[in-house]
Amino acid sequence: MLTKEHMRFSQRGGILKPGFIDVNNRTLLNAVEALTELFQHGAGLTRAELAEQCEPIIATGFKNPKILRGIEKLLLDRCQFAEPDESAMQRRSAIFAKAAELLEQAHLEELPRYRSAIGQAFNSDPEQLAAALYNDLPERQPLLTFRPLQAQKMLYRYNAAQVQGLLLRAERLTLTFNANDPGTLRLLLQQLRFHRLLARVTRLPHEQVKMVLDGPVSVLEQTQKYGLQLALFFPILLLQKGWSLEALIRPQGKPAATLKLDPSAPLSYWNSHTRAYRPDAEFAQFAANFREKFPDWTVDEHPPLLDLGQQEICAPDMAFHKGEHPFYLELFHRWHATPLLRRLEHLSKRGRDKPPLILGVERSLLKNSQVAQALESSPLFAQRGFMFRDLPSSRTLAKLLETLI
């Protein structure tokens, strides 16, 4: 991800245009290849040493050094550095205390004798002692491993990162894409679930699907974390056919503007393969605990899409079977106030013909007075809903399921 100082975009007439780069620019490709080679052979170098070696390439490799500084940031994101020595701070304090004590001794007025005395106190060479004094600082951490990326893919990664940075300030995000392949839709909805995002999903004519997501600017709590999840979700859209994106962005200190993108933009998924969706470890553990405590129930961690009627569909978090008919679980977390209100409204219009959907709501959502009132007045939630903290309780969920059989 890129930080604020690496962002490049223009805003005119209410339209935002990211500062995309030409992924075929030979000069830029050469500079990226040089930076990548430096990182590939940089094992053992500290962050500060890597930065020093990158500087000549950044300064002269391309006409706009800001672009290469952004590339450098993305390359650093692909590095693993040694963890800082937790004892370094205590050791430094001890060295300073001893140095202050020795400074008061008259026979150590000469600097070489003074430095030698400090080294002897810690059974170490004075030069080595001084060199390791600040090894716990980030810039002193040595590089362990680096995951290289082909130069043109890195330029695609840079362009995607420009979009991701803007999405951190999104108020609303609307996606459309072809859904003639059920696997494509499932992958996208599973990634939504993986990143704990909720969307209003509707079918459009000509085998297209529309998704509307609330952005972090419209969420009252933990906006930074939600915005990061939204940005991390974006790249999977690039694998879809016939995709388009429209987002209302509120850049800091500037008026709101619209971001519009489609496959004509210089964007492409940069990884060689897509990792299949896997639930968070905590959800996998929840499923395992539920199976152990309630063996009469079958837990499906990859349930099928659920048709909610009126062209709306959802991707349940889990499904639970006991007998012929399954029950589907959809969880709403602290930043899902608006999707929860929409879901309650939609289901209330179904009358008795309601899908077998159970709603789990994180307790922190009760801080929203509109949500609290909607849950209190909802007969559907009273029958098919429950509250939870962080993760659902297996016992609470099982008790509710038993009442629905």
Q: Which two tokens stand for residue 206?
A: 């000509």
**DSSP structure string for 180-224:** SSHHHHHHHHHHHHHTT--EEEEEETTTEEEEEEE-GGG-SS-HH
Q: Is the pTM of this model over 0.85?
A: no
Domain of residue 398: give its range: 281-403
pLDDT in tens, 30-58: 999 999 999 999 999 999 999 999 999 99
Domain shared by 290 and 397, yes or no: yes
Residue 142 domain flag: no
Residue 268 domain flag: no
Q: Where does residue 358 rank: exposed (0-12), middle (13-18), buried (19+ CB within 10 A)?
A: buried
Domain shared by 103 and 153, yes or no: no
pLDDT in tens, 81-96: 988 777 778 888 888 8
Query: What's the structural domain count of the chain?
Result: 3
Measure the CA–CA gap between 378 and 186, rounded to whole angstroms.
30
The overall average pLDDT reported for the chain is 87
Between 19 and 203, the more confident residue is 19
Domain shared by 103 and 224, yes or no: no
pLDDT for 273 beyond 70 = no
Residue 301 domain flag: yes
Q: Which is nearest to 210 in space by CA: 234, 239, 181, 188?
A: 188
pLDDT in tens, 148-185: 999 999 999 999 999 999 999 888 899 998 876 666 66
Radius of gyration for the chain, computed over Cα atoms and rounded to the nearest angstrom: 27
Q: For 20, how many CA atoms within 13 A lie in the half-sphere containing its CB?
A: 14
pLDDT for 366 beyond 60 = yes
Give the CATH number for residue 360: 3.40.1350
Domain shared by 295 and 244, yes or no: no
Domain shared by 62 and 158, yes or no: yes
Amino acid 272: pLDDT? 58
Between 352 and 120, the more confident residue is 120
Amino acid 236: pLDDT? 86
pLDDT in tens, 188-230: 777 777 787 878 888 888 878 888 887 666 554 556 777 888 8
Q: Which is nearest to 290 in space by CA: 332, 336, 327?
A: 327
Amino acid 278: pLDDT? 41
pLDDT for 305 beyond 90 = no
Measure the CA–CA gap between 343 and 203, rounded to whole angstroms.
16
Domain shared by 19 and 59, yes or no: yes
Residue 271 domain flag: no
Domain shared by 118 and 164, yes or no: no
Domain shared by 48 and 123, yes or no: no
* Residue 283: pLDDT band with limits 50, 70, 90: confident
